[in-house]
């Protein structure tokens, strides 16, 4: 029997496929042939693991529910872990005095409303798991307290949307006493957007490789319990971050 069905992104999927698990990767239709998706499909998975790809466009209010119908049609009756990793920021980032209503709306759809719709769709299958976990992939810029230190107003729409995601994650924790819900800051990661931001900050490249970031987050997810981790915001070093 395959244990631990979990919904993840292609980036996280490669790490989780090393474990005996059903990995459900969500992709956009437009990204179906992207190198990261092809790499995920070609990855030599651990014995007993299985990959299922579903389509979720984060601006769509109906894609998450349609994806869950596909999941259920595959005989999957519960979800142990759901990682809401999809996100996006306009590049270059737009500061507070120039950000448009359209940019704010679109960025909120992707980074806050999309994860909420995913949670609502996944809720019935999370309820059927013995130790379910919900994970929101946030950012340091989503911390209102740290704003003065990291100048997150330079990327207004993205940081504000992630602050909203943090609020939603904490609300999920308080309204579902049977569920572990945690927000994670993956760090500045060596993806294309991460390296672009690093260069804007005068760095050669982002701080963490994708694998370092994912492995650090998985360590927190693995040990997460309702009493110790749920309802909080952590970085890769397991430091609790302020809201």
158 assigned to active site: yes
Catalytic residue among 41, 72, 149, 158: 158
The pLDDT-based confidence of 191 (bands split at 50, 70, 90) is confident
Question: Residue 79 has what pLDDT?
Answer: 95
162 assigned to active site: yes
pLDDT at 166 over 50: yes
The pLDDT-based confidence of 29 (bands split at 50, 70, 90) is low
Q: When comparing pLDDT for 85 and 201, which is higher?
A: 85
Domains present along the chain, CATH in parentheses: 6-234 (3.40.50.720)
Q: Taking a C-beta distance cutoff of 8 angstroms, is the pair 180, 133 a contact?
A: yes
Catalytic residue among 108, 133, 162, 208: 162
pLDDT at 31 over 60: no
- E-strand stretches of the chain: 6-8, 22-27, 50-55, 81-84, 133-137, 180-184, 233-234
pLDDT at 17 over 90: no
Question: Residue 150 has what pLDDT?
Answer: 86
Q: When comparing pLDDT for 45 and 193, which is higher?
A: 193
């Amino acid at each position: 029997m395959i244990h631990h069905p979990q919904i993840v992104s292609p980036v996280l999927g490669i790490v989780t496929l090393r474990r005996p698990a059903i990995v459900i990767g969500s992709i956009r239709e437009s990204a179906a042939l992207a190198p990261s998706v092809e790499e995920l499909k070609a990855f030599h998975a651990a014995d007993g693991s299985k990959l299922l790809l579903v389509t979720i466009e984060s601006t769509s209010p109906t894609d998450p529910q349609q994806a869950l119908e596909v999941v259920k049609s595959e005989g999957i009756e519960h979800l142990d872990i759901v990682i809401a990793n999809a996100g996006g920021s306009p590049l270059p980032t737009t500061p507070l005095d120039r950000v448009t209503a359209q940019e704010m709306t679109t960025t909120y759809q992707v980074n806050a409303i999309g994860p909420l719709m995913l949670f609502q769709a996944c809720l019935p299958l999370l309820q059927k798991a013995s130790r379910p976990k919900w994970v929101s992939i946030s950012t340091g810029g989503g911390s209102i307290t740290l704003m003065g230190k990291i100048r997150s107003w330079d990327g207004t729409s993205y940081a504000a949307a992630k602050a909203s995601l943090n609020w939603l994650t904490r609300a999920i924790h308080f309204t579902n006493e049977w569920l572990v819900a945690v927000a994670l800051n993956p760090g500045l990661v060596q993806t294309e957007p991460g390296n672009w931001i690093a260069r804007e900050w005068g760095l050669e490249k982002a701080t963490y490789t994708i694998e370092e970031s994912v492995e650090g987050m998985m360590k927190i997810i693995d040990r997460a319990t309702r009493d110790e981790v749920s309802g909080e915001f952590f970085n890769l070093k397991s430091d609790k971050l302020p809201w």
